[in-house]
Structure 1
Amino acid sequence: MTTRIRPVPIRTVATTPAERRVARALALEPGGPPSLQARVANRIIRTSMKTAWHYSPDTEAGLLWIQKATALLGRFQTVPRGVAITPQELDGRTAEWVRAGAPDEDKVLLYLHGGGYFFGGPRLYRPFNWRLSAATGRPVLALDYRLAPRHTPADALDDALAAYDFLLSRGYAPRNIVVGGDSAGGHLTLALLLALKSRETALPGAAICLSPWVDLLCESDSHRLNKSSDALIPAGKLAWLGREFCRDKEENDPLFSPRRADLSGLPPMLFVASGTEILRDETLDVAERARAAGVQVLYQEWDGLVHVFPVFADFMPEGKAAFRHMAEFLLGAGV
């Protein structure tokens, strides 16, 4: 299920045992069995994070409880020496720049974090974003979009549009902008591309969608078939949340766009999913529909890994390897 593109050779010469372990991790490809580290991480994530979400109440108070708990966790996220974090105001919205090493300042990656549209943020995603900057050789602008229950996914889309317009105003050529996101942020990435297309704004050079929550109504078969094997998301909780977001919406509402929209004309896109997560089928579906619409698409499916496993790169080698695959994709797409 993986379409190969022009690979990027690993140039690191491994001399110490630690370096050899890193080199082996980076060489991982989709299709193989999950590593021991990944299996252990899956168990820990299932026991802690999935259980906490499963037993939280289906109320605004329940969402705010998880939001506050993850915000507290974000306060403890650190980055290695040589990574620069710079706050950025965006016309009343906030974001932060993440620069690892000496990135190409003519290029940029706008990243839209996951979290079901109700938790997460740039601070929580710092370990992810510095790796993304290092792998792609460009600064990452991590958007702190507005969250439920006080705001809606439509507000988040307005924030994403404002962030994209900000990058254009800073002189970035659309071809040199990449947009990426995971889970709800993957849905937001797709919604942003379609909104830009609708208003005839020049599209970015490429997009990365990691386990995107394409269908907010959670109607694909994997929501049922992978209900037990998904180590992070309680299927019933996500379905409830999606119904709340889509309550009283018309079928042509932009929230439904990634599932029903005309995907022609979109830029090259990378889709990544785990075969055991509940969002697997909709990720594959949107990738196939985009390819059928003439879009250059790379779809990767990894076996037995947690939802958005690159976010957990500190704990599993497949997560580290995913960043090499993202860099390969951008090189193959010519951006």
Structure 2
Amino acid sequence: MSTHLTLAAEPRYFKSSSLQSRLLGLGLRHTVRPILGMWARLPFDLYPPNLIDHVARLLPVHEGTSWRTVDLGPCQSEWLLAKDVRDVRGGNPGAILYFHGGAFLTCGLNTHRNLVSRISYAAGQPVLNVGYRQMPTEPITESVADGVVAFRWLLDQGYRPEHITIAGDSAGGYLAFSVARAVLDAGWGRPAGVVAVSPLLDVDSTSKRNHPNANRCETFPLNALERFTELALRMDSRRGISGQRVCPVKMPVADMPPSVIQVGSREILMPDAELMANRLVAAGVPCDLQIWENQVHVFQASASWVPEARQAIDEIALFVQSLAAGTVEAPAAKSTRKKKAARPRARAAGS
């Protein structure tokens, strides 16, 4: 049986028509998806070296971007500024804390430097790009702990919590919400907002299995998500923390900061985005759920050639700038949607 969550939140739909986005989806469906399907069927655990992150060193960044390594103790990170972006010492009070995706198993600073540089340029804010520890070496709880250390580093540099936006894609979306929750629980103040791109927000695959997108996603077959669930739970058990980790969809949310969630209309992670948006809006927290027609998982990373990706990054930038301007509106709910306040224009991400 397939189900689709009835939303209290009113999503915003973005039409897609570019040839580039269709080619991207077709390419992933015939390469990445079958490879992940084969990995999920292996009768043994296989954790290949993170070769993709090493190869990604060759990828270009947005023109004029600079970055330096930041040693956070448990992990390495990067302090990145796009062209003409100033930090707090230069009079810019805002910053973005970013967590890359990769199912807590792969990817890293190199794979996401291009995307992060474009977000920095469009939003006009520096970014701390976090190379958090991952499975199979460490469980998800340690990834969250690294994120909290990264937030503390920003505070130590002079940034105020209400000027820090926490963002991430895929597994990084899990960390974005989890770190925001941890910061609130620590009494450090409320972050400015949360940006979640194609977020994985529930390790349990049940809702994904019962969703219409279960077999429509061009990146992930269902069995790959179920294999990931098994690995994550086994890692928790090995560390003696079974049942202690709380996924974002089950966290208290009434005091969470405003958020924007972007997800492709065919993604297998759609139920996670729907449930999180529903809970936030029901709790009175501003949440802009954006559904991008036929876009693939983290299509924003293809901004160098996919026009919809550049548009999505501009939407992220508008949200970040709205947070800084204090113009984020109340939650949009069915039959109670308010007229949108004027928002500042973002710099074009493809410029």
Interval of TM-score (by shorter of Structure 1 and Structure 2)? 0.7 to 0.9
C-alpha displacement of 1:2: 5.8
C-alpha displacement of 1:253: 2.1
Alignment of 1:27-106 (within 5 A): 30-56=13-39, 58=42, 62=46, 64-65=47-48, 67-106=49-88
**CA deviation string 1:49-93 (max 9, x = no partner):** 22222222657752x32x533123312211243111211111242
Matched-pair contact (CA < 8 Å) for 2:11–2:291: no
- C-alpha spacing 1:251/1:91, structure 2 compared with 1 (3 Å): closer
- C-alpha spacing 1:303/1:115, structure 2 compared with 1 (3 Å): same
Is 2:262 aligned against 1:275?
Answer: no
Matched-pair contact (CA < 8 Å) for 1:85–1:97: yes
C-alpha displacement of 1:333: 2.7
C-alpha displacement of 1:230: 0.8
Equivalent position to 2:274, from 274, 278, 284: 284
Is 2:181 aligned against 1:194?
Answer: yes
More displaced, 317-326 or 88-97?
Answer: 88-97
TM-score, normalised to structure 2, is: 0.82
C-alpha displacement of 1:257: 3.4
CA distance in structure 1 between the aligned counterparts of 2:107 and 2:278, rounded to whole angstroms:
29
- C-alpha spacing 1:251/1:283, structure 2 compared with 1 (3 Å): farther
| AA of the residue aligned to 1:154 | T
Matched-pair contact (CA < 8 Å) for 1:110–1:140: yes
SS in 1 for 2:30: helix
Q: Which residue of 1 aligns with 2:338?
A: none
Q: Which residue of 2 aligns with 1:115?
A: 102
Q: Which residue of 2 aligns with 1:170?
A: 157
Matched-pair contact (CA < 8 Å) for 1:222–1:280: no
C-alpha displacement of 1:104: 3.5
Q: Which residue of 1 aligns with 2:250?
A: 260
Q: Which residue of 1 aligns with 2:132?
A: 145
C-alpha displacement of 1:99: 1.2
- C-alpha spacing 1:221/1:61, structure 2 compared with 1 (3 Å): closer
Is 2:205 aligned against 1:215?
Answer: no
CA distance in structure 2 between the aligned counterparts of 1:251 and 1:288, rounded to whole angstroms:
27
| AA of the residue aligned to 1:257 | C
Equivalent position to 2:123, from 122, 128, 136: 136
| AA of the residue aligned to 1:275 | S
C-alpha displacement of 1:150: 1.2
**CA deviation string 1:206-229 (max 9, x = no partner):** 110111111101121466522332
SS in 2 for 1:298: strand
Matched-pair contact (CA < 8 Å) for 2:78–2:129: yes
- C-alpha spacing 1:199/1:54, structure 2 compared with 1 (3 Å): same
CA distance in structure 2 between the aligned counterparts of 1:133 and 1:104, rounded to whole angstroms:
10
Matched-pair contact (CA < 8 Å) for 1:223–1:235: no
Matched-pair contact (CA < 8 Å) for 2:248–2:276: yes
Q: Which residue of 1 aligns with 2:343?
A: none
CA distance in structure 1 between the aligned counterparts of 2:84 and 2:43, rounded to whole angstroms:
45
Matched-pair contact (CA < 8 Å) for 2:16–2:295: no
Is 2:260 aligned against 1:294?
Answer: no
Give the unaligned 5+ runs of structure 1.
5-29
**CA deviation string 1:268-325 (max 9, x = no partner):** 1011111100011110110111111121111100111101111222231111111110
- C-alpha spacing 1:45/1:257, structure 2 compared with 1 (3 Å): closer
- C-alpha spacing 1:289/1:175, structure 2 compared with 1 (3 Å): same
When the two chains are superposed, the root-mean-square deviation of aligned CA atoms in Å is: 2.1
C-alpha displacement of 1:31: 3.0
Matched-pair contact (CA < 8 Å) for 2:219–2:296: yes
C-alpha displacement of 1:151: 1.3
| AA of the residue aligned to 1:269 | S
Q: Percent identity?
A: 26
Matched-pair contact (CA < 8 Å) for 1:34–1:304: no
SS in 2 for 1:272: strand
SS in 2 for 1:321: helix
C-alpha displacement of 1:173: 0.8
CA distance in structure 2 between the aligned counterparts of 1:297 and 1:222, rounded to whole angstroms:
25
TM-score, normalised to structure 1, is: 0.85
CA distance in structure 2 between the aligned counterparts of 1:234 and 1:178, rounded to whole angstroms:
31
- C-alpha spacing 1:278/1:103, structure 2 compared with 1 (3 Å): same
| AA of the residue aligned to 2:297 | H
